[in-house]
């Protein structure tokens, strides 16, 4: 028996354990994924580096804000009516705390190099509805 026949036989056996309660007919790929069980987690084959860098910039801004406003009192009005609070776009200037700046730079470099080293990049490409199994 060759590999294709083994896969077909496995799919036939696995399909008997899957109960389809919908009217939609499942294709072979869907049956294969469902047969892996409820603990199976599908993964993508790439990472959107634009999204990663954007998230890092937002994280860096939050770190600067936490350092800038540390120990300062909050306004009582915003606590009573949080829906009246406007979203802030203020970003404190870097360089106020050299240790924080050094930490942020190291984290950003580590994340970007870690992603580039361990994952195939998906630079800004539109994501499809495909499921990739590693």
- Phi then psi for residue 112, to 5 deg, are -65, -45
User: Domain limits at 20?
Assistant: 3-34
Pair 75, 103 in one domain: yes
Q: State yes or no: pLDDT of 43 exceeds 80.
A: no
* Residue labelled with tokens 């790439």: 46
48-77 pLDDT, tens digit per residue, is 888 999 999 999 999 998 988 888 776 555
What pTM was estimated for this model as a whole? 0.51
- Collect all residues with Cβ–Cβ distance below 8 Å to 75 and sequence separation of at least 6: none
132 within a domain of the structure (yes/no)? no
Pair 54, 112 in one domain: yes
87 within a domain of the structure (yes/no)? yes
Pair 81, 113 in one domain: yes
Q: How far is CA 95 from CA 33, 64, 69, 91, in A?
A: 50, 10, 15, 12
Q: What is the tally of structural domains in the chain? A: 2
18 within a domain of the structure (yes/no)? yes
Written as six digits, the tokens of 31 are: 């049956």
């Amino acid at each position: 028996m060759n590999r294709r026949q083994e896969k077909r036989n496995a799919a036939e056996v696995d399909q008997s354990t899957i109960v389809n309660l919908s009217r939609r007919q499942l294709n072979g790929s869907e049956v294969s994924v469902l047969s892996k069980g409820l603990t199976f987690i599908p993964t993508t084959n790439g990472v959107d580096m634009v999204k990663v860098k954007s998230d890092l910039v937002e994280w860096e801004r939050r770190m600067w804000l936490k350092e800038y406003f540390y120990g300062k009192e909050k306004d009582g009005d915003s606590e009573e009516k949080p829906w009246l609070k406007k979203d802030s776009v203020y970003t404190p200037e870097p360089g106020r705390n050299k240790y924080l700046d050094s930490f942020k730079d190291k984290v950003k470099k580590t994340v970007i190099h870690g992603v580039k080293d361990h994952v195939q990049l998906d630079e800004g490409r539109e994501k499809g509805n495909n499921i990739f199994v590693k």
